[in-house]
Amino acid sequence: MDNKDIILKAEKWLSEAYDKETRDEVALLIKEGGTKLVDSFYKNLDFGTGGIRGIMGVGTNRMNKYTVGMATQGLANYLLKTYPEEEIKVAVSFDSRNNSPYFSQIVAEVLSANGIKVYLFESLRPTPELSFAVRYLQCNAGIMITASHNPKEYNGYKVYWNDGGQLVPPHDNNTIDEVKKIDTPEKVKFDKNPDLIHIIGNDIDTVYWDLSKAFSLNLENNKAHSNLPIVFTPIHGTGIMGVPQMLKLFGFSDVSIVEAQSSPDGNFPTVISPNPEEEEALSLAIEKAQKTGAELVLATDPDSDRVGIACKNDNNEFVLLNGNQTASILFYYILNQWKEKGKFKGNEFVVKTIVTSELLVEIAKKYNVEYFDVLTGFKYIAEIITNNEGKKRFVVGGEESYGYLVGDLVRDKDAVISCCMIAEAAAWAKSKGKTLYDILIDIYLEFGLYKEDLLSITKTGKAGADEIKSMMEDYRTSAPSTINGEKVVEIRDYKLSEINYVLENRKEKINLPKSDVIQFFTDGGSVVTVRPSGTEPKIKFYFGVKGELKNRESFHEAMSVCNKKIEGIKTSMKLE
């Protein structure tokens, strides 16, 4: 779209269909011109397979009253078509981001104007509680206003179906089709029906917490170690509305909150980014833990579906565990305890995503538990749980991006119960005279030293989107034959749904939905995965290598070898 077309598109926002404040802002953008105008209007804000997410502001490519209203109208139309003879119910919640309460109100008003009953949370709540509420209240869908761990300029919303999981085929594409038909705010019903908007809150909290407590495997041991000192930070998000309360129910009484980050605040004033994957976001919590003598640090993102942790190493220093490491500990602890307590019946299963450590597969194999690999996105884990409901028992699932789920009460990653189960694993380790760090090394000694890394390259605006598309095409048409001196022996292209066994000149079908993802496997056991982010203007590179750990004393040396191997891969692919 050239500048002339962009200006014509922007001028449509000067009509009486938009409020005066919006018209004034758009007029100023047109007057000033430049990249801000282009980025605000060069495309429509995409309603993807999980919902919408974008920078807040005026324009077709921004989160605002009109793009939120249009997306919600499209969803309402699909719901009305899908359930023509039923009373339709939708649960709506929101996080601590700027404009989240406002956007949730817009959503509720549009849904009610379409004759849909809305259960609107009275105040911010964690994403997993919204997922729970969808099923508990027997809703047809759910909407969570959040941009997860994105920077403060962003907001968005995730859409859930009646199983409590995010949209999967065919509902995702069918909803997208309906949203595309809403090409003007004049097609949106903004006149709310207050009789159809019902406020919910503490009644749902209590049930969610009580039912989650049932997934504990060692309540008595938790109580025996109730004084395990824990520091928790919600990083200005919704975690304050669930994690401290649940930790108490699980038996942990010595929980300190990082006061400077305890109040919900969409400006996230104490961090550069509210992302528990990043060390800086946990710095205040670690500082508090060092001062108070705590043994475990827990941090959740703004909508509480991801959790980052820090624990003490063998030098009594706090170290951050990455998502693969935390998932490995959770899988190991939970499956170990299921076996010890005789809970296995032979129909249990676990799930991970294709970019998550293969170590989880090895742990599952040890305990003879079926495992599933799914595409990136927790909605695919939820889909497996739903498809096997009543036939098989879901135990635990995880993805490398710090998202985990224990039990099937929720159908999305749940940082609330994950915090509790991580603390429980720490108490279990303590009962054996060990730390979580010790347990991690025990796992490496038994299964091998798995090391993963992630490189995200940000490419903003239209130019960035075009560059990411070009990079993916280059990897498809000019795949590397070697990576860091190792031969590429297998290429998995999830967009083409095929595995190419390079040396055998043989191809095989992939039985997963199509996705813009490419994986390269080498004869040295390395794995490189490339994919554009579905929610951020980034292209992501996942690296996985495996090394040998002969004894506990050689851990750091062995890890250094793996790190050098990963750096060699990045250099060979010209990524650094």
Catalytic center residues = 148
Q: Give the separation between CA 148 and CA 399, rounded to whole angstroms.
A: 15
Omega prior to 170 cis, within 30 of 0: yes
Overall size of the chain counted in residues: 576
**Alpha-carbon distance values, 353 to 218, 241, 398 (Å):** 28, 28, 7
Structure tokens, 474: 């280059």
**Three-state DSSP state, 236:** coil
**Three-state DSSP state, 512:** coil
The answer to whether 562 and 449 have CB atoms below 8 angstroms apart is yes
Residue 234, phi then psi, degrees to nearest 5: -85, 0
Q: Give the separation between CA 35 and CA 176, rounded to whole angstroms.
A: 28
Convert 196-216 to b/e letters by CB count within 10 Å (16 or more is b): bbeebeeebbeebbeebeebb
Structure tokens, 430: 């303590």
Structure tokens, 137: 């209240």
DSSP letters, 323-345, are: HHHHHHHHHHHHHHHHHHTT---
Q: Give the separation between CA 308 and CA 300, rounded to whole angstroms.
A: 6
Q: Give the separation between CA 336 and CA 331, rounded to whole angstroms.
A: 8
